């Protein structure tokens, strides 16, 4: 399974970001020359302990609510892809994380200032499905899932 996040509205309109099973990508604000970015295009800045704990709690809930845990149960078992950097002042330096495991895709807010909306509802964490609309800052993104 491959998951794509297509930006439909915002400064990065038209960009498409891919996630693969057992991988994650963090979303943050792009560096506009003021050095306000926390993440990098290479994805080489580690999540801090609190961010990892939020993701681990979400993964634990997924395992408890779903079928038998097939994939990794901790964030450290996931391989990190390049960070998604959005040109949007409303996006926090460390805004959220998208990940994909055998159960599907999910988003976890990393305590961003302006939050994450999925289908118009503010969430701290949410499982994602085909066609879901994810708002990060002023950016509107649609989730596409392919076999």
> Could you give the C-alpha distances from 107 to 15, 36, 93, 96, 129, in angstroms and in order?
18, 23, 16, 7, 11
Q: How many C-beta atoms surround the C-beta of residue 68 within 10 A?
A: 5
Mean pLDDT to the nearest integer, 18-40: 77
Triad 26, 70, 56: Cα angle to 5°: 40
Q: Looking at the predicted structure, is the pLDDT value of residue 119 above 80?
A: yes
Q: Evaluate whether 106 touches 125 at the Cβ level (below 8 Å).
A: yes
Give me the pLDDT at residue 121, please. Answer: 98
Give me the pLDDT at residue 37, please. Answer: 55
CA distance 25 to 27: 7
Give me the pLDDT at residue 70, please. Answer: 40
pLDDT tens-digit map of 30-89: 876 555 556 767 776 677 788 777 777 877 777 776 543 444 445 566 778 888 999 999
CA distance 9 to 110: 22
pLDDT tens-digit map of 101-116: 888 899 999 989 999 9
pTM: 0.81
Out of 66-75, 80-89, 118-127, 130-139, which region has the weakest mean confidence (pLDDT)? 66-75
Q: How many C-beta atoms surround the C-beta of residue 28 within 10 A?
A: 26
CA distance 3 to 113: 26
Beta bridge partners of 108: 97, 125
Sheet with 139-146, edge to edge strand ranges: 16-20, 2-9, 139-146, 133-136, 116-118, 121-123
Nearest one of 50, 102, 95 to 78, comparing CA atoms: 102
């Amino acid at each position: 399974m491959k998951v794509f996040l297509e930006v439909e509205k915002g400064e990065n309109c038209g960009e498409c970001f891919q996630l693969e099973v057992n991988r994650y990508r963090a979303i943050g604000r792009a560096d506009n020359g003021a050095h306000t970015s926390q993440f990098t295009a290479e994805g080489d800045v580690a999540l801090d302990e609190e961010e990892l704990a939020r993701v681990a709690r979400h993964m634990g809930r997924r395992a408890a609510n779903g079928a038998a845990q097939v994939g990794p149960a901790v964030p450290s078992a996931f391989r990190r892809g390049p960070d998604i950097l959005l040109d949007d002042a409303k996006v926090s330096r460390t805004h959220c994380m998208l990940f994909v495991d055998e159960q599907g895709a999910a988003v976890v807010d990393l305590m961003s200032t302006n939050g994450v909306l999925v289908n118009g509802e503010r969430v701290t964490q949410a499982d994602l499905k085909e066609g879901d609309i994810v708002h990060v800052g002023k950016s509107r993104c649609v989730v596409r899932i392919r076999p």
